[in-house]
Structure 1
Amino acid sequence: MPTIRDFLTILQQIVPTGLAEEWDNVGLLVGDPNQPVQRVLLALDPTIALIEQAAAERYDLVVTHHPAIFRPLKTLRTDTPTGRFVALAARNQIGVIACHTNLDSIQSGVSDHLAQALGLVDTRPLVPSRGECALGCGLGRIGILPTPTDARAFLDRLRQACSPPWILEAGIRPERVETVAVCGGSCSDLTEAAFNMGAEVFVTAEVKHSVARWAADAGIWLLDAGHFATEQPAMPIFRDMLRQHIEARSWNIAVDLAIQQPPLHLA
């Protein structure tokens, strides 16, 4: 029977850990590499509800985009969300793996999927990867629309691409949208890079106040479509990639995608 170690070998081929940012925490965060694996539950966020579902439905392994352990733990208190998550995983012998900025950076990853959903072509990374990577890996993407559009039509395109619960904007809406930059998740720090590469619009999430001010003065249209909305649509693609690699090895491992809702919503 395949083990967590074997599953990590697959992940290394799809989302190499060398693509993760230095500040990130990816790979096996909880569990025994030698533990057999038959059922894997995939999700964007490492929530208490997720690990409870995994325990109740007898999953051996949980793979999340956002790391369950992000900052070093000085204590493991089970009256905190992180401590309870880790304790539940350990108690039920559930391995926990994070694929964060390495999943962001790969081709067909988070930002690639968002760019494709918006109809962009000739895409390239906003920040090319310096890690182990084929050409085309890195954070964010910038590309062009084959047929330029106006701002209102682009907003409709964005709503269709990721069903955002809101769209916040900064800067002046351009009359013509052709060059578009995207970065799923919290990437407003890349706004200046998008501007310098010629983007008329940059789609991301969790835009900082100071960045919104800068964008307005610089003349780039900045759109905040929500962290969950800009990343979640890539998770089914990730699931399908994992299933293909597992089927190629004839392993009897099920990979399922948990149903999650965004933590933020309009009041």
Structure 2
Amino acid sequence: MKVHGRSPGTFSLIAPLTLRGNAVVIADLISFLEEWIPPGSAMSRDNPGLQVGDPREELRGVLVALDVTPAVVEEAVSAGVNLILSHHPLIFTPLSRLDQTTPLGGMIAKLVRHHVAVYSAHTNLDASGQGVSMALARALEVDKPRFLAPPESRWLKKLAVFVPPDHAAAVREAMARAGAGVIGEYTHCSFNLEGTGTFQGGENASPAVGVKGNLEQVLEVRIEMILPAWKAGAVVRAMQAAHPYEEVAFDLYPLENSDVSYGFGAIGDLPMPVSLEDLVQRVKERLGCPAVGVMEGPSRNIARLAVCGGSGGELVEAAWKQGADAYLTGEMKYHTLLDYKDRITVLLAGHYPSEAVIVPEWAQRLRQWLDGRPVPVIETRVMTNPLTYQI
């Protein structure tokens, strides 16, 4: 993960499998993923989603990997799968040309020739409550990890709509089903206030209440529900479909709140405090990294641990302010380390080892969703870490 600002976590639910006949198509898997880790929760500079391929094709198998490299593409082709699910996007910046003599152009051409699609979930997976940093925290035995930093405020909106009382329940339910009214572990959250609405229908109007041409005063309920910004279109459409009025009066506006369902990094207490030496050994064993960079802080016993997969230098301030004895991430800028020297212990495990923990968890989640369907889910055997460690 690379943080520019902040980003989101989400519900631990398995969406129902939608089948076209007896086949599972790539679009089915994408629908499941986007309910769990919506692309709209990614950071603005990111490029999650379908990178290459036809979502209408039948799903023959999935290869789960951190990166898409020529070796990973060959692994997918050799295994006979037709979808690579990666954490890091294959295409991060817009392409101005597709030159097959370049590594990226060659990979895309090979993927297209062999009908292998690529779908990536990057900062939206980082921000999930079942994402990279939470998997990293669990691997290191952090008890009941919580988000270290909130997401950007741009992710939340509020919809306020004015409804006749006898239609209020139906409109609330339609909005909730479309994704509004979720606050943490609670759904169907709304505020309702009765008041008087006025309107006067024109010559071509067909009012559901009253008579056109008359200035009507009617009892209405103002319903307010919070919603993720990326679900605004779906929620508004659902509300309008359930609303009895010909012209619906509603307000949709952004909020400065942080969405508690999403966040970056993770922090929590270890079941028992451990020495720095024991924590380093645990990191090596659990993450499979032969070396760990350590900047020693004031505490030699680690009781509270904060983590962030990938490049998490921007969250060290949050870790320090929340009383973490140590902060583990993949990599951090030199001068950021200097700024926090003697304030907090920092462990650098490497970008790849700090994120690779998500691959088996991601694969297992897909197997659960497939629920016994004959679609193999394979964890890559290709080591895409560009670094080797010579000790």
TM range (shorter): over 0.9
Match of 1:257 in 2: 379
Contact 1:125 1:136 in 2 (8 A): no
Q: Structure 1, residues 201-249: CA drift from partner, whole Å, max 9, x if none? A: 11001211111111215x11111101111111221111000110111xx
SS in 1 for 2:357: helix
Amino acid at match of 2:93: R
Aligned-pair identity in percent equals 34
Q: Structure 1, residues 73-120: CA drift from partner, whole Å, max 9, x if none? A: 112112222211111111211111001122222223211111112111
Instruction: Please list, as runs of the form range in 1=range in 2, the aligned pairs for 1:34-49 lying within 5 A after superposition.
Output: 34-49=56-71
Output the CA distance in 2 between the equivalents of 1:43 and 1:238: 9
Amino acid at match of 1:172: G
Amino acid at match of 1:165: P
SS in 2 for 1:123: strand
Contact 2:61 2:82 in 1 (8 A): yes
Q: Which protein has the larger Cα radius of gyration, Structure 1 or Structure 2?
A: 2
Match of 2:313 in 1: 188
For the aligned residue pairs, the C-alpha RMSD in angstroms reads 1.8
Query: Which of 206, 212, 218 is 2:331 aligned to?
Result: 206
Match of 1:239 in 2: 363
Q: Structure 1 residue 142: deviation in Å?
A: 0.7
Q: Structure 1, residues 23-74: CA drift from partner, whole Å, max 9, x if none? A: 1111101111212211111111101011112223322111111110111111
Q: Structure 1 residue 172: deviation in Å?
A: 2.8
| 2:147 paired with 1:125 | yes
SS in 1 for 2:303: strand
Specify whether residues 16 and 180 from structure 1 end up closer, same or farther in structure 2 by C-alpha distance, changes over 3 A only.
Answer: same
Output the CA distance in 1 between the equivalents of 2:102 and 2:318: 38
TM-score by length of 1: 0.92
Match of 2:52 in 1: 30
Match of 1:102 in 2: 124
SS in 2 for 1:116: helix
Instruction: Please list, as runs of the form range in 1=range in 2, the aligned pairs for 1:11-26 lying within 5 A after superposition.
Output: 11-26=33-48
Q: Structure 1 residue 136: deviation in Å?
A: 4.8
Q: Structure 1 residue 173: deviation in Å?
A: 5.6
Match of 1:53 in 2: 75
Output the CA distance in 1 between the equivalents of 2:386 and 2:151: 30
Amino acid at match of 1:163: G
SS in 2 for 1:85: helix
Match of 2:176 in 1: none
Query: Which of 111, 116, 127 is 1:89 aligned to?
Result: 111
Output the CA distance in 1 between the equivalents of 2:137 and 2:79: 35
SS in 2 for 1:127: coil
Output the CA distance in 2 between the equivalents of 1:86 and 1:127: 36
Contact 2:363 2:377 in 1 (8 A): yes
Match of 1:160 in 2: 285
TM-score by length of 2: 0.64
Match of 2:389 in 1: 266
SS in 2 for 1:138: coil
| 2:28 paired with 1:6 | yes
SS in 2 for 1:52: helix
Match of 2:13 in 1: none
Output the CA distance in 2 between the equivalents of 1:197 and 1:136: 19
Contact 2:53 2:112 in 1 (8 A): yes
Task: Identify unmatched segments of 5+ residues in structure 2.
Answer: 1-22, 157-181, 185-259
Output the CA distance in 1 between the equivalents of 2:320 and 2:340: 9
Output the CA distance in 1 between the equivalents of 2:63 and 2:271: 37
Output the CA distance in 2 between the equivalents of 1:119 and 1:58: 36
Query: Which of 292, 295, 299 is 1:170 aligned to?
Result: 295
Amino acid at match of 1:232: A
Output the CA distance in 2 between the equivalents of 1:194 and 1:61: 37
SS in 2 for 1:240: helix
Output the CA distance in 2 between the equivalents of 1:35 and 1:82: 23
Contact 2:60 2:80 in 1 (8 A): no
Large movers: runs of 4+ above 4 Å: 130-136
